[in-house]
Amino acid sequence: MRKRIWGLLYGILCAAAFTGCSVTEETKLENEELQPVELVVWGAEEDEELMNQIIQSFQIHYQGQADFQISFEVQGESQCKDALIGGLEDGADVFTFADDQLNTLAAAGALTPIENADEIRNRNLSSTVEAALVNDQLYAYPLTADNGYFLYYNKQYITEEQAKTLDGILEAAAANGKLFTMDWTSAWYVYSFFGNTGLQVGLNDDGITNYCTWNQKDGDIRGVDVAQAMLRIAEQPGFASYTDEEFLNGVKNGTVIAGVSGVWNSVAIKEAWGANVGAVKLPTYTCDGRQVQMASFSGCKLIGVNAYSKYPEWASRLAEWITNEENQQLRFEMRGQGPSNIAVANSAEVSQSPAIVALLEQSEFSQLQRVGGKFWDPVSKFAGNMAAGNPSGQSLQAQLDEMAEGVSAR
């Protein structure tokens, strides 16, 4: 009898214990239910493979912390601001953009100051950190330190000597029935003709409006001299104004043997031209009977986190992940892009890259890209007319005046 009672008591105790276990397990499972995190990332078309790889490693790293649904969408870095401002609340959570768009994005409330700014500052080149600052506050994550352009040429057709002058390049191109190309629809590249002439363009103290003396009628080199030089270049059979995409297509199909572009195309050009790839500073061009070194804009690419993201913490973590040392190393390996991360930038591999060397060579003649929004369209319109051989016949001075007025408009 006594044994039966003890047996019954043990049975009750076991049942109670199992019941307890079951409840705990259920509670645990409930707690472990992962929260969905949906993020959209914008980046350049050429970066798609790289970015997908980075996104995948991010998801693996943070596995079990959220139910991730991260997608990559193609959005050119140079137009990122326009796309974002057109629909900020529906825009990407994390996006890549050129540093000249920073002020506008901050003023639009699209970006907010980064919380762990000191950490980010310490591991990136000071020039890239400066490019991401507004009022000494870090608003974006530095990604690359290479947003500039230089000359790519095919050594099979153009000698090292010819690559020093635009005349030499155009001559070689014409002689081979090929092309040298440059994008004159983009004011970013057109700056190169004016940058080293003593004619000025830049941002006023308000950070919004520009000053522009590209229409100057006196001085060592006048605006008209540059315009005439551009017209002469446009007339050459070896010249074509191609967009960056058209340039790359031309490189691939063999019609283009030289062009002005940046490190973002280094891998594709290497694939097309192999050992014949030449990458050097921009050439000189003939202006008012003398050789003028072509200038360039410089800058860097940044990663921004949309202030209207529904998952700001995860978006920030992803932005940090994209720009960390490992992924900047991967970016250099896959895309040949110059890193902003100090450790990667100092590596022997990076300092030996021909594209990075060319960019460094050009940096002596480059200017940090700091112009207001009204710079782009008037310059693009003017250069478009020059590229087309001035079909309207309007006086060059009048066109320069119109351009300068548009650039410095309030």
Partner 1 sequence: MKKKLTIQQRLILPIILLGIVALISNALSVIGINNVNFNAAEIVDNDMVGLEILQNIRHTTTNIHKMALSHIVATDYNTMIAVVEQIKEEEVTLETYLEEYENYVTEDEEAIYAQLLEDYDSFKHALVYLVCASADSKTQDAYAYANGDVADFGSAMAGDIDELYGAVRARTASTANIKLLIV
Under the rule (CB under 8 A), what is the footprint of partner 1?
A: 81-82, 85-86, 88-89, 103-110, 134-135, 205-208, 308, 372-374
What span, in angstroms and rounded, lies between the C-alpha atoms of 112 and 99? Answer: 15
What span, in angstroms and rounded, lies between the C-alpha atoms of 265 and 261? Answer: 7
Nearest approach in angstroms of CB 88 to partner 1 is 5
Q: Rounded to 5 degrees, what are φ and ψ at 287?
A: -140, 120
User: How far is CA 1 from each of CA 6, 13, 92, 107, rounded to the nearest angstrom?
Assistant: 9, 19, 75, 85
Judged by CB, which is closer to partner 1: 137, or 291?
137
Nearest approach in angstroms of CB 375 to partner 1 is 11
Q: Rounded to 5 degrees, what are φ and ψ at 256?
A: -110, 130
Nearest approach in angstroms of CB 210 to partner 1 is 11
Judged by CB, which is closer to partner 1: 134, or 224?
134
Judged by CB, which is closer to partner 1: 134, or 342?
134
Q: Rounded to 5 degrees, what are φ and ψ at 284?
A: -90, 160
- 261 forms beta bridges with 150
Nearest approach in angstroms of CB 233 to partner 1 is 31
Judged by CB, which is closer to partner 1: 222, or 374?
374
Each as own residue / partner, the long-range contacts of residues 63-67 (CB below 8 Å, 24 or more positions apart, any chain) are 64/34, 65/34, 66/34, 66/35, 66/36, 66/37, 66/314, 67/34, 67/35, 67/36, 67/37
Which amino acid appears at position 86 of this protein? G
Helix (H, G, I), strand (E, B) or coil at 143: strand
Nearest approach in angstroms of CB 108 to partner 1 is 4
User: How far is CA 195 from each of CA 102, 340, 400, rounded to the nearest angstrom?
Assistant: 22, 25, 15
Nearest approach in angstroms of CB 68 to partner 1 is 27
Cβ–Cβ < 8 Å for 339, 145: yes
Nearest approach in angstroms of CB 331 to partner 1 is 29
Judged by CB, which is closer to partner 1: 111, or 120?
111
Residue 337: CB atoms within 10 Å = 29
Judged by CB, which is closer to partner 1: 283, or 299?
299
Judged by CB, which is closer to partner 1: 117, or 280?
117
Judged by CB, which is closer to partner 1: 80, or 345?
80
Judged by CB, which is closer to partner 1: 92, or 125?
92
Quick one: tokens of 152?
A: 């790519």
Cβ–Cβ < 8 Å for 216, 222: yes
What span, in angstroms and rounded, lies between the C-alpha atoms of 178 and 153? Answer: 12
Judged by CB, which is closer to partner 1: 86, or 177?
86
User: How far is CA 97 from each of CA 15, 80, 102, 130, 364, rounded to the nearest angstrom?
Assistant: 62, 6, 8, 15, 24
Nearest approach in angstroms of CB 340 to partner 1 is 23
What span, in angstroms and rounded, lies between the C-alpha atoms of 233 and 294? Answer: 13
Residues 6+ apart with CB under 8 A from 382: 190, 227, 399, 400, 402, 403
Nearest approach in angstroms of CB 240 to partner 1 is 32
Cβ–Cβ < 8 Å for 130, 103: no
Judged by CB, which is closer to partner 1: 189, or 375?
375
